[in-house]
Amino acid sequence: MYDCKITVIKRTVNQDIISEYLKEKYQEAKPCERFEDGQEFVITQENRYKPPEGFCEWAWADIRYDLLTLAYGGNVPHMKDENANIVGCTDWFRPVYFKIEKMV
């Protein structure tokens, strides 16, 4: 078992998709307010099954599988660093991208 670090690498807004598909009252979207670029969370063996304080529950549900893969010793062969992975939440209007790193 490994501890892992989650880093918020990028918060984005897909304005072209928002403009085409969302109602007028949702057109002024901003990047996700739950996170800040560069924000870090350490996930230990003791707390690997629940999101850290302040972490979006929806994003946690989206990335948990990838986190547990690394925490249980798995690797990601297509990554330059096989002990890391880039994942994202599934709010495709305002996605957040995370880097998960196995702390070896």
Share of the chain above pLDDT 90, in %: 94
Region 84-89: mean pLDDT is 97
pLDDT (tens digit per residue) in 38-59: 999 999 988 888 999 999 999 9
pLDDT (tens digit per residue) in 15-28: 999 999 999 999 99
Strand order in the sheet with 84-88: 40-43, 3-11, 96-103, 84-88
Q: What is the pTM of this model?
A: 0.93
Rounded to whole angstroms, what are the CA distances from 28 to 11, 12, 21, 54, 91?
15, 13, 13, 24, 15
Region 76-82: mean pLDDT is 96
